[in-house]
Structure 1
Amino acid sequence: MRGTWLRSAWVMALSVLIVASLATVAAAEVTTIRWLYPGGEQPVSQQTWKSQIERFAKVHPEIKVEVIDVPWDLAHDRIVNMVMAGDGPDLIQMGSRWIPEFAEMGALMPLDQYFGKEKMSLYYPGLVKTVTYKGKLYALPRAYSTQALIYRTDLIKNPPKTWDEVVTISKKIQSEHPGMYGLGIGGANHVSTLSQYFTILYTYGGRVFDEQGRLQLDSPEAVAALKRYVDFYRKDKIVPNPLEYNREQLPELFSAGRIAMFVSGPWGGRALGLPPDNDRIPYASAPVPAGPAGTATELVSDSTGIWAGTRNLKAALTFLDFITSPEEQVQRDLIGGLVPQGPTMATRPEFTKNPFFKTFIDMAPHGVPQPQPALWEPFQEVIVNMVQSATLGMVTPEQAVKQAVQELRAKGLVPAEKK
């Protein structure tokens, strides 16, 4: 009996050792990667990344993904601090506007050798430009938006085709509905103020920089676009004070019956929390009103790159390729109310059979990529100050643009002039 007991005990101990050894081996084979995700704490974003990680884990159990969710207003500095400390996240989700800065500081790994023509053919050419810097690919697009006009269909039978028509229709609405403005625009100290001005700028044929990074803001088109923006408030009086609102607050004014039109991305409709054909504030989308150069929209994207110092390159590349596959991109866009990122994805019936959403897809060929200054944060400050100083009447549009041009040069923000 004693011998039998000893043998049983020995077998049991050996089994425990084997199980422990296998667990150790399994643990050693799992690679953990970190993904810094600005805005990841928000409900829609959280729904997106959690479901993507769950699907990824089913096909790649050998890779564990940890998300570092950071509010957008803290994300830029958090990324810089982590990189400077040598503790960067393996994957960096970011506004593509930060790519030039991060590329110059050596924070991002060029991805050209890992993602070729087949992968890049998934995207609109203009979108690829937002993640390319000095001829190198530094990230893959993850979120993409165009702009369109959102308007009240119970008040506006035919949406305005030009900015002049916006003024005419707005004044008619205001005469018939006291207390309501025809249009809403954002001009607060916020990144969306740049999008609001740039969208008008592009319809006037203006640009901030050309494709070589040379300054183009010092142009009659830029002055005329800023004058149009300012006139909406100071001369035509068809908008509430722009400085009191950013673009993300315009849906609130729209749903409260204070404005009848605003320019936004497709999330502007989602933010209303009502379908387009609702009984209270029915709405639809239309192309951005045309300026002298026709309709246009700013192309804005978020993207994901890989930290140049990662020690988990293979795992990071595997995950990045997975979350940017067409099926994953489409699911993310549908959840987030975003524009599909390429012509093939845009043909999906989930997008094309939705009249409200289709307008934003149709705007894609009219898109102009977001400017790529040497540093985004001080660039944003210069442009916001330009818009606000002119809106307040402190300076003329001509003077505001001239001052902005001088500041961009003095602060070394012009890519082609950066030493």
Structure 2
Amino acid sequence: MVRTPTLLLALAVACLVLASCGGSSSSKGGTVTLNWWAYNEPSGSFRDAADRCTKQSHGAYRIAFNALGNDADTQRQSLVRRLAAKDSSIDLMSMDVVWTGEFAQAGWIRPWPASFAAKVKKGTLAGPLATAMYQGRLYAAPANSNTQLLWYRKDLVKSPPKTWDAMIDAAVKLPKAGRIEIQGAAYEGTMVWFNALVESAGGKILDSPTTVGSDRAALATAARIMHRLATSKAADPSLKNQKEDQNRLAFEQGKAAFQVNYPFIYPSAKANNPKLFKEIGWAPYPGVKDGVPAKAPIGGFNWGVSSYTKHPQQAFEAATCLRSAQNQREFAIKGGLPPTLSSLYADPKFKKDYPFAALVRRQLDHAGVRPVTPLYADVSLAVYTTVSPPGNIDLKSVVKTLQKRIGDALKSKGLL
């Protein structure tokens, strides 16, 4: 096909606008444009951090924020498509903490140079830091951590339950709002729930990066609890489609007495339902055995530097800035996202603004980490497609099915 000069000019202009045509660029004065692909954090704190670091660079770089989807599966799909194509339009990215091994093994992210790695490691909590490591090297900067708490209505619940079974018992007895909001859709959130239950029961989904977990009792316990909740009066009627944000909305609307979710729900309730906000209490993540503390989930985002960026030096500088104490404080206060820096948890002002800080840190120190393997995405898919919807779990065969499907995932056999 012959292209006219007018058409060629239009295409050239379009490529200047679209990052995907030419990747990062330098504008007048030598300022480098860094494309940061990140979760579209609802409070706007990620965008604020990008603007703040741009100003603090004094013209060295400009961070252009590119919004990813709202759930982890969608975010991963968007990044993987671009990275697999060696797309230089990605300079920086927000990565779910479980992607480190996969992205590093695939060669999609750069290991951090020693000088930058030293800055990242200094003062970072051990749990979040471990999620950024692969084969002994730092491949990402822990920007925020995350863990789920048990949130409850103080006007309906006098004493928060300590186990899942006790919570179900309490919820079904309530005369109103006797619901428990939890994630049950076929996606990563259900993997998070199942893994926390397995870990709390003393087991592991994987015994090693390449070996299926051998503790059948722990797998059975986790499946039983999920099935019991899903088939009880305490279940949200939409449990099989529920994700974190649907849980938040139902709780804010007064439909539930309990919610197991991340701290982002706290500033949201304060803004959207001040009356209910005053009644929100928080407690440790529920356990599965009386007297045995739970292994709560650990999540969050790490900043990775693309292997295909044309400006690695500026990208590492920007990623370091984006996870500064100032930015992590805002992520927590505005967006509810827990910090990874120990200094913030010792700050009296931060503890006043983030009243559950001590509980969050305690849970992060003893969290139930999801399986560490380059094949994590396949393992997760095998799990959540087996246990979702929770009400359809076949308790007689679920352990055998899980172990087979996880084994197939570790051998890269097709799951769909």
Q: Distance in 2 between matches of 1:26 and 1:387?
A: 51
For structure 2, list consecutive stretches of 5 or more residues without a partner in the other structure: 1-25
Structure 1 246/375 Cα, relative in aligned 2: closer, same or farther at 3 Å? same
Shift of 1:281: 7.0
Distance 1:154 1:240 in 2: 20
TM-score by length of 1: 0.81
Q: 2:178 aligns with which of 181, 191, 199?
A: 181
Q: Which residue of 2 aligns with 1:96?
A: 97
Q: Does 1:253 align with 2:260?
A: no
Residues 361-397 of structure 1, C-alpha deviations (whole Å, 9 max, x = no match):
332222122323433443332111221265214x22x
CA RMSD of aligned residues (A): 2.8
C-alpha distance in 2 between matches for 1:108 and 1:237: 46
Structure-1 separation of matches of 2:74 and 2:390: 29
Identity of paired residues, percent? 21
Aligned residue for 1:65, secondary structure, equals: strand
- Alpha-carbon shift at residue 279 of structure 1 (Å): 5.6
Cα 1:165/1:272, change in 2 over 3 Å: same
Between stretches 52-61 and 269-278, larger displacement belongs to 269-278
1:370 aligns with 2:370: yes
1:5-404 correspondence to structure 2 within 5 Å = 27=28, 29-39=30-40, 43-45=42-44, 47-72=45-70, 74-88=74-88, 89-111=90-112, 113-117=114-118, 119-173=120-174, 176-177=175-176, 180-210=177-207, 214-216=211-213, 218-234=215-231, 236-241=232-237, 242-273=239-270, 278=275, 282-292=279-289, 293-353=292-352, 354-388=354-388, 391-393=391-393, 395-396=394-395, 398-404=396-402
Q: Deviations over 1:243-289 (max 9, x none)?
A: 13223211222233322102111012233345997368711101112
Matched letter for residue 158 of structure 1: S
Mind listing any 5+ residue stretches in structure 1 that lack a counterpart?
1-24, 415-419
Output one character per residue of 1:291-323: Cα deviation in whole Å (capped at 9) or x when no partner: 234222111121111112322121112111211
- Measured in 1, the distance between the counterparts of 2:401 and 2:95 equals 30
Larger-gyration structure (1/2): 1
What is the CA–CA distance in structure 2 between the aligned matches of 1:156 and 1:204, rounded to whole Å?
26
Structure 1 residues 58 and 214: CA distance shift in structure 2, 3 A: same
Q: 1:230 to 1:335 in 2, by over 3 A?
A: same
Cα contact 2:37–2:67 (8 A) shared by 1: yes
Give the TM-score normalised by the residue count of structure 2.
0.82
CA 1:282–1:187: 2 relative to 1, 3 Å: same
Q: Indicate the SS of the match to 2:43.
A: helix
Distance 1:245 1:110, change over 3 A: same
Moved more, 270-279 or 130-139: 270-279
- Of 384-393 and 146-155, more deviation after overlay is shown by 384-393
1:402 to 1:350, Cα distance in 2 relative to 1, 3 A: farther
Judged with a 3 Å threshold, the aligned counterparts in structure 2 of structure 1 residues 357 and 282 are, in CA distance, closer, same or farther, namely: farther
CA distance in 1, matches of 2:408, 2:209: 19
In structure 2, how many angstroms separate the alpha carbons of the residues matched to 1:321 and 1:52? Answer: 12
Secondary structure in 2 matching 1:369: coil
Count how many residue pairs are aligned between Structure 1 and Structure 2: 380
Question: In the alignment, residue 295 of structure 2 is paired with which amino acid?
Answer: A
Measured in 2, the distance between the counterparts of 1:300 and 1:266 equals: 12
Instruction: Label 1:280 to 1:143 Cα distance change in 2 as closer, same or farther (>3 A).
Output: closer
Q: Secondary structure at the match of 1:150?
A: strand
Q: Is the 8 A contact 1:130 1:370 kept in 2?
A: no
| Equivalent AA in structure 2 for residue 301 of structure 1 | G
Q: Which residue of 2 aligns with 1:22?
A: none
